[in-house]
């Protein structure tokens, strides 16, 4: 009985915590990884560069940042940016959205993508 209660307690704790809870180390790693992005993207609201501003990214529909000229593929993708869509997109943007103007080979490391997404979730608010 005690073993069963212990298992239930652990399962409950896992369900109560966010799926990708970020540590300070993970956020630092994500910030470091963002160096690959900042050549083209800004975190400032309304400041588009070669790529659109990432401010307000989470929950935003793809192709809708103001005053940025998106590809037709991006505008019509139907994607809403969140942890799951960014995780897939950042692995291989051209494969996830064929026809996107984003020329980036992707981030193959799952750990690095998770860290970058955690950082972006905080930095783009």
Q: Does residue 14 form part of some domain? A: no
Joined tokens for residue 65:
């940042």
Evaluate whether residue 7 is within a structural domain.
no
For residue 109, tell me if it sits in a domain.
Answer: yes
Total domains present in the chain: 1
For 41-52, how does the pLDDT look when each residue is reduced to its tens digit (9 = 90+)?
999 999 999 999
Q: Which of 32, 44, 14, 12 lies closest to 118 in space, CA to CA?
A: 32
CATH number of the domain at 69, please.
Answer: 1.10.760.10
Q: Does a structural domain hold residue 16?
A: no
Q: Comparing C-alpha atoms, which of 86, 30, 32, 31 is closest to residue 59?
A: 86
81 found inside a domain: yes
The residue range of the domain holding 111 is: 22-123
* pLDDT of residue 1 exceeding 60: no
Residue 17 included in any domain: no
Instruction: Calculate mean pLDDT across residues 56-79.
Output: 97
In angstroms, how far is CA 1 from the centroid of its own chain? 42
Is there a contact between 124 and 97 (Cβ–Cβ < 8 Å)? no
Answer yes or no: is 8 within a domain. Answer: no
In-domain check, residue 80: yes
């Amino acid at each position: 009985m005690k073993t069963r209660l212990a298992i239930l307690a652990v399962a409950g704790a896992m369900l109560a915590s966010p799926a990708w809870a970020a540590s300070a180390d993970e956020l630092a790693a994500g910030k470091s990884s963002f160096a690959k992005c900042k050549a083209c993207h800004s975190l400032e609201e309304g400041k588009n560069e070669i790529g659109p501003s990432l401010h307000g990214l989470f929950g935003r529909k793809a192709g809708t940042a103001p005053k940025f000229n998106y590809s037709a593929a991006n505008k019509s993708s139907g994607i809403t940016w969140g942890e799951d869509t960014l995780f897939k997109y950042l692995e291989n943007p051209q494969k996830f959205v064929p026809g996107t103007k984003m020329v980036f080979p992707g981030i193959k490391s799952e750990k690095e993508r998770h860290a970058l997404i955690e950082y972006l979730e905080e930095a783009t608010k």
